[in-house]
Structure 1
Amino acid sequence: MHLHGMHFHEVMDDGRLGPLRDTTLLFSDETGEIAFVADNPGQWLLHCHMLSHAASGMMTRIEVS
């Protein structure tokens, strides 16, 4: 999954924050948690880089005011 406009930390299983990034890899049926500061106003896309996944709905928009 790739987030435009901001960087995030993956939240690890033990609650620690992973390295700063804008993309994370998730496998089928896997979930993940990210933490970020929404400090860049605008409308930003969060999507899968596999076009067939994005086309089938694996994307959303985040609006930061």
Structure 2
Amino acid sequence: MHLHGHNFRLILSDGSLGPWRDTVLVERGETREIARVTDNPGNWLLHCRMLDHAMSGKMSWYRVT
């Protein structure tokens, strides 16, 4: 999944923070926990980088006010 407008850090299984990134691989049925600061106002896209997945609905907008 690719997050526009903000970077994030994965929260690892031991509770520590991974490196800064804007994209993370998420397998089917898997979840990931992230930490981010939403300090960039606007409407931003969250989507799968595989275009056929994005076109079939693996895409959403989020708003930061």
2:62 paired residue number: 62
How many residues of Structure 1 are paired with residues of Structure 2 in the alignment?
Answer: 65
Question: Percent same amino acid at aligned positions?
Answer: 58
Q: Which deviates the most, 35-44 or 22-31?
A: 22-31
For 2:54 and 2:42, the matched residues in 1 are separated by: 21
1:31 paired residue number: 31
**Counterparts of residues 6-25 of structure 1 (less than 5 Å):** 6-25=6-25
**Structure 2: 5+ residue runs without aligned partners?**
none
1:46 paired residue number: 46
For 1:6 and 1:30, the matched residues in 2 are separated by: 22
**Structure 1: 5+ residue runs without aligned partners?**
none
Q: TM-score, normalised by structure 2?
A: 0.92
Deviation at 1:29, TM superposition (A): 1.7
Moved over 2 A (4+): none
Q: CA RMSD, aligned part only? A: 0.9
Q: TM-score, normalised by structure 1?
A: 0.92
